[in-house]
Structure 1
Amino acid sequence: MLARGAAAAGLFLIMEALSGSLPVPAYRWFAAAFGALLLVSCGPRLVTAQTERPVSEPYTGSTNIFEYPGRDQRLQIDRVMDELQIQAGKTVADIGAGGGWFAVRAARRVRPGGRVYAVEINDQFLETIATRARREGYDNIETVLGEPGDPKLPKASVDAVLLLKTYHEVADPVALLKNTRLALKPGGLVGIIDRNGTGGDHGLDRSVVIKEAKIAGFELVRSFDFVKADEQDYFLIFKATAS
């Protein structure tokens, strides 16, 4: 498990570095990350439910790698939240929340009166998020232990959902999206930010995401390339189709 985490961390850092997204000090991590990739194989698993495509091994390493300076600006996370209509009083789900990088930003945005569900299948990450929320004073973050095909969110409870660099790791993506659909309030939006790839290389072609979302009962309403602007990352917004 530690080996897989090291390899996944290495791949993440290499992709960020090659796209120009890491600040200069972060390149100090690059050599160690590359070494981890050489030593460890992080092979893809195969989804056998409704997709039958490779998926990436879930990341289990330190969440500190997602906290590098300037990430807000490079991902234009405020614009992402604007496009998802995240504002005061709204309820947001961060699926694949990691260490809570997006959850705390959403929690700040939805004050007063709003709530953020930080969803993870890794209970250690949930402990990290809970500790962070207490330390930083976000009493409107609720951690949720999800499953690979179910975020375990209350029915009709959420205005907006974001999967940030997570979708390529989801073992049962169609089931996850179907259950996410049940958790949406009328008019709710689902955002997916990822990078183009094969599924097993910590990325997934956007056309595959759109196809799977359609199977799950969603339609694409907007598509953007402004996140990192490297022609690799994309930001897709979906809404539920009429039943």
Structure 2
Amino acid sequence: MRLSALAFLAFATLPTAACDQLMPSSDKGRPQTARDFPRADRPIANIVSTRWSDEDSRDRLNEADDIMDGAGIKPGMTVADIGAGEGYYTVRLARRVGPTGRVLAQDILPEVRDSLALRVARENLDNVSVKLGAADDPMLPARSFDRVFLVHMYHEIAEPYAFLWRLYPALKLSGQVIVVDADRPTAEHGTPTRLLKCEFEAVGYRLAEITPNLSAGGYFARFNISGNRPDPDKIIPCSLKHHNRAGR
């Protein structure tokens, strides 16, 4: 339904408080840039730490090498580490892709981004760039990445449909999104595998593999782009009732 010119002018001049009352309750508190997308029908885990576990413990379990091997990381690749935190994967990806490759490390917290930038400079990682992202947009350049890593952080993404939709164009045609998470409810800092698959497929990705990975404390999943990304208003959100429980 279209507003008449007078009605539109009256609406546009309403005070902010009145606009808040007219705004659908489901959009309150959401970024303006996310409101064309469905809201996730599940809890969003709070960011409680910039690290999942200490690096020495993770290395003793061979975590990063296992995940990078599964993701097929090779010299010369261009990789994004989203929600990079203190940089556990960032520094190991940088070594694996080598001087002819590139790593873009991103986080949504400015202080975390700044701390990671200092680590990158301190360790002379000349093939790493560090940038700030947003809860609904990784802000990555188009058709640039062979792999995008989301490690122990997917359950913290406040706007998964907007985020995944905007991530999609950043992948090369043969690129993949790599997810590592625990198979438990999102409120418990994990993502059930059924829910993960549903949310990715709702935005046009296709599951390539999902397997248990004990060294990383959960599972390892790979997603391809399918060539069929829906318009934001055509995305069908996944139901908490049917998907937010453990098991495939």
Which residue does the alignment assign to 2:75? 88
Q: Show structure 1 runs of 5+ residues with no match.
A: 1-44
Q: Show structure 2 runs of 5+ residues with no match.
A: 1-28, 229-248
Q: Partners in 2 of 1:65 and 1:196 — Cα distance?
A: 15
Calculate the TM-score normalised by the size of structure 2: 0.73
**Could you tell me whether the CA contact under 8 Å between 2:58 and 2:215 is conserved in 1?**
no
1:68 shift after superposition: 3.7
Q: Partners in 2 of 1:167 and 1:178 — Cα distance?
A: 14
Q: Partners in 2 of 1:79 and 1:65 — Cα distance?
A: 16
> Which of residues 57, 66, 69 in structure 1 aligns to 2:46?
57
Letter paired with 2:123: E
Distance 1:236 1:65, change over 3 A: closer
**Could you tell me whether the CA contact under 8 Å between 2:51 and 2:85 is conserved in 1?**
no
| 1:239 lines up with 2:228 in the alignment | no
Give runs of aligned pairs for residues 153-192 of structure 1, distance below 5 A: 153-192=140-179
1:133 shift after superposition: 0.7
Give runs of aligned pairs for residues 72-111 of structure 1, distance below 5 A: 72-74=59-61, 76-111=63-98
3-state SS in 1 of match to 2:138: coil
Q: Partners in 2 of 1:240 and 1:65 — Cα distance?
A: 28
**Could you tell me whether the CA contact under 8 Å between 1:66 and 1:101 is conserved in 2?**
no
Q: Partners in 2 of 1:229 and 1:157 — Cα distance?
A: 27
Letter paired with 1:101: Y
Q: How many residues align?
A: 195
Q: Partners in 2 of 1:235 and 1:65 — Cα distance?
A: 15
Which residue does the alignment assign to 2:125? 138
Letter paired with 1:207: R
| Larger CA Rg, structure 1 vs 2 | 2
Which residue does the alignment assign to 1:25? none
**Could you tell me whether the CA contact under 8 Å between 2:144 and 2:170 is conserved in 1?**
yes
Moved more, 83-92 or 94-103: 83-92
